[in-house]
């Protein structure tokens, strides 16, 4: 894995409009059985804001997995503008049968950008992780960073939530979803917030390397 850089964002706010949460296609594996499924839980960064579905990082991840010989379908459960509370409210129906083989959780950026209480975000994330644990679904947690102009105390408190919950639930942890992509104008849309198609290629590669390094993938 490449080292996690310290990233400072410029001031920004995520869109409050809703994106697609539709699942991607699930082609059969070579054995004729449905492939294992990775459920990606997130907001606009997962949904692929303003991009066609095939350019989102869950879609790119699915293509990369197939290229590397892994028979996984990747389900994009990202909704633009979602906070941790919003995602918690729809977690139960996302976890109806058939259950995913693995869940990736990257939620909370909009809580931070809206200045919502960190304790509230942490409680919501804890509830989401507990629901996944109760369903015996393996989980990987993915963290986010905040712009430093939100105040050092708030930023520090926010960013400490993810590693703390990863330890509490004993789950693999990727510190930052946008590693090597954030603040690079050639890899982001004109808003300077959301990755463009090229940026999502790197995000998918980073997530794939993380999953492979953590032993979360099986052929």
What does the block give as tokens for 131?
Answer: 């629901």
CA 168 to chain centroid: 19
Q: Of 56, 75, 82, 194, which residue is the catalytic one?
A: 194
pTM of the predicted protein model:
0.84
- List, edge to edge, every strand of the sheet that includes 36-42: 72-78, 36-42, 102-105, 139-142, 173-174
CA 39 to chain centroid: 9
What does the block give as tokens for 141?
Answer: 């947690």
Helices (H) and strands (E) in the chain, counts: 8, 5
What does the block give as tokens for 146?
Answer: 């905040």
Q: Of 22, 92, 191, 213, which residue is the catalytic one?
A: 191
Q: Give me the percent of the chain exceeding a pLDDT of 70.
A: 84
Catalytic status, residue 191: yes
Q: Is the pLDDT higher at 194 or at 35?
A: 194
Catalytic status, residue 44: yes
CA distance 58 to 41: 10
Q: Which domains does the chain have, with CATH numbers?
A: 42-213 (3.40.50.1110)
Convert 139-178 to b/e letters by CB count within 10 Å (16 or more is b): bbbbbbbbbeeeeeeebebbbebbeebbeebebbbbbbbb
What is the per-residue pLDDT across 109-159, written as a single tens digit (0 to 9) for each?
999 999 999 999 999 999 999 999 999 999 999 999 998 899 999 999 999
CA distance 215 to 213: 5
Q: Is the pLDDT higher at 193 or at 185?
A: 185
CA distance 2 to 176: 12
Task: Please tell me the predicted confidence (pLDDT) of residue 4.
Answer: 36
Task: Please tell me the predicted confidence (pLDDT) of residue 137.
Answer: 97
Q: How many CA atoms lie within 13 A of 91 on its CB side?
A: 26
CA distance 211 to 28: 22
Q: Of 43, 44, 56, 84, which residue is the catalytic one?
A: 44
What does the block give as tokens for 213?
Answer: 């390094």
């Amino acid at each position: 894995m490449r080292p996690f850089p310290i990233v400072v964002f410029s001031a920004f706010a995520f869109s409050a409009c809703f994106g697609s949460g539709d699942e991607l296609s699930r082609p059969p594996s070579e054995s004729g059985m449905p492939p294992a499924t990775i459920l990606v839980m997130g907001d606009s960064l997962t949904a692929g804001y303003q991009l066609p579905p095939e350019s989102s990082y869950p879609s790119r991840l699915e293509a990369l997995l197939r290229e590397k010989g892994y028979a996984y379908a990747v389900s994009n459960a990202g909704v633009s503008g979602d906070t941790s509370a919003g995602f918690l409210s729809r977690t139960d129906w996302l976890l109806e049968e058939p259950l995913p083989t693995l869940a990736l959780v990257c939620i909370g950026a909009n809580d931070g950008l809206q200045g919502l209480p960190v304790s509230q975000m942490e409680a919501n994330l804890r509830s989401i992780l507990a629901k996944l644990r109760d369903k015996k679904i393996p989980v990987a947690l993915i963290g986010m960073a905040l712009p430093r102009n939100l105040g050092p105390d708030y930023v520090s408190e926010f960013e400490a939530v993810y590693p703390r919950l990863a330890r509490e639930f004993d789950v693999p942890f990727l510190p930052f979803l946008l590693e090597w992509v954030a603040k690079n104008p050639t890899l982001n849309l004109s808003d300077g917030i959301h990755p463009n198609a090229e940026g999502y290629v790197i995000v998918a590669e980073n997530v794939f390397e993380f999953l492979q390094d953590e032993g979360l993938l099986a052929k």
